[in-house]
């Protein structure tokens, strides 16, 4: 029996129900191994009670997941639901460009095209072995169209140490992120990120957020993960899993996409930054792990209608000081280690240490 490896990217195709329907159809033609690529998709998998169907045990990039699963499967399907077919193809091309040699058929199943009737259509994009017999079988099974990818038409431009990268299918008002960090807001549909010597210097067609850009030492625009808009559109009721106590507290400082890896085995997370607090809190609400969030009120809104774990405390400090406080918490409370054992004083003890460090910078404290 053929083994089909399925790499599911992001939460949208899970929330829409199309991922689980696809897996059901595929099970009729072979053995299916499904893994998730992307952080917010984990929350979607948990909410849909699919963690026994879709493996969420690791946090790999799509290209890494494809390489790993291709060693044990006869073919690999990359499943995505982008904002449009253009953004879907751009995503697939980026993933494929990072793979190197792959010796099994790799087809992208893309639901990002609404078609002429306003309903999502299924498009199959063959990145390898474009004339494989399985391609026609999948087309008939999924009632899909086949789109053979065309050469890249200027997605990148390199001139010396200046790199320009176009952002596909961005809409005015959406925030643009590079490796999970907001670097600005789109003011038009034609957006281009420009870097010089590894530093982002311009968001052409948009408004550059200097505070976000400053978080990078350097960045490679060619390999960077670039997104626009909400990470997980819509409102979803979190499903809370059982959590075993470990007696450990951790700190999450502007790296929300690593939340499960950093805090999955903790009893408490101290989280720095507005969007990081929103995203990490939403993810940890699925694990029942409370947070102490330190914000300054400059949230960009990368996710809609986020949840806050029960028992959490959010501390708002004066504008521009969440990063300063975060460094102090890292050094003073966590002694530069990123984690610490919770003493007999528990959550209140850690909160007391953080509040003492915040001092006169505090403007509001909200308990959940």
Spans of all domains in the chain? 3-146, 156-228, 248-367
Task: List phi, psi (to 5°) of 19.
Answer: -65, -50
Give me 232's structure tokens: 């997980």
Strand duo 248-253 + 339-341: pairing: antiparallel
Cα end-to-end span (Å), the chain: 51
CATH of domain 3-146: 3.40.50
Torsion angle of C-alpha atoms 20, 25, 30, 34, degrees rounded to 10: -10
pLDDT for the residue 243: 84
pLDDT for the residue 368: 93
CA distances for 184 relative to 74, 88, 193, 210, angstroms: 42, 22, 10, 8
> What is the C-alpha to C-alpha distance for residues 143 and 176, in angstroms, rounded to an integer?
34
pLDDT for the residue 123: 94
pLDDT for the residue 113: 66
Residues of the chain with pLDDT under 70: 113-120, 153-154, 300-304
- pTM for the predicted model, two decimal places: 0.86
């Amino acid at each position: 029996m053929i083994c089909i490896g399925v790499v599911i990217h992001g939460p949208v195709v899970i929330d829409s129900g199309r991922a689980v329907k696809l897996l059901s159809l595929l099970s009729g033609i072979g053995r299916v191994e499904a893994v998730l690529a992307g952080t917010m998709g984990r929350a979607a998998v948990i909410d849909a009670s699919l963690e026994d169907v879709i493996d969420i045990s690791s946090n790999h990039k799509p290209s890494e997941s494809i390489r790993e699963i291709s060693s044990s499967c006869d073919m690999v399907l990359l499943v995505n639901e982008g904002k449009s077919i253009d953004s879907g193809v751009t995503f697939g091309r980026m993933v494929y460009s990072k793979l190197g040699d792959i010796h099994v058929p790799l087809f992208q199943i893309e639901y990002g095209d609404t078609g002429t009737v306003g309903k999502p259509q299924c498009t199959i994009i063959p990145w390898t072995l474009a004339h494989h017999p399985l391609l026609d079988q999948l087309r008939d099974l999924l009632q899909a169209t086949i789109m053979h990818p065309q050469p890249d038409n200027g997605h990148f431009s390199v001139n010396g140490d200046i790199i320009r990268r176009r952002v596909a299918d961005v809409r005015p008002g959406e925030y643009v992120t590079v490796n999970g960090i907001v670097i600005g807001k789109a003011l038009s549909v034609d957006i281009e990120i420009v870097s010089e010597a590894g530093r982002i210097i311009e968001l052409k067609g948009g408004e550059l957020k200097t505070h976000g850009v400053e978080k990078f030492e350097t960045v490679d625009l060619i390999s960077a993960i670039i997104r626009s808009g909400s990470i997980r559109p819509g409102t979803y009721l979190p499903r809370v899993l059982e959590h075993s106590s470990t007696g450990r507290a951790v700190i999450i400082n502007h790296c929300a996409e690593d939340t499960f890896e950093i805090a999955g085995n903790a009893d408490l997370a101290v989280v720095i930054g507005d969007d990081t607090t929103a995203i990490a809190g939403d993810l940890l609400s699925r694990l029942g792990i409370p947070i102490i969030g330190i914000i300054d009120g400059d949230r960009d809104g990368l996710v809609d209608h986020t949840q806050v774990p029960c028992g959490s405390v959010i501390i708002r400090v004066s504008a521009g000081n969440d990063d300063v406080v975060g460094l102090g918490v890292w050094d003073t409370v966590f002694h530069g280690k990123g984690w610490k054992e919770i003493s007999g004083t528990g959550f209140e003890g850690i909160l007391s240490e953080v509040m003492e460090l915040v001092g006169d910078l505090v403007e509001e404290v909200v308990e959940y």
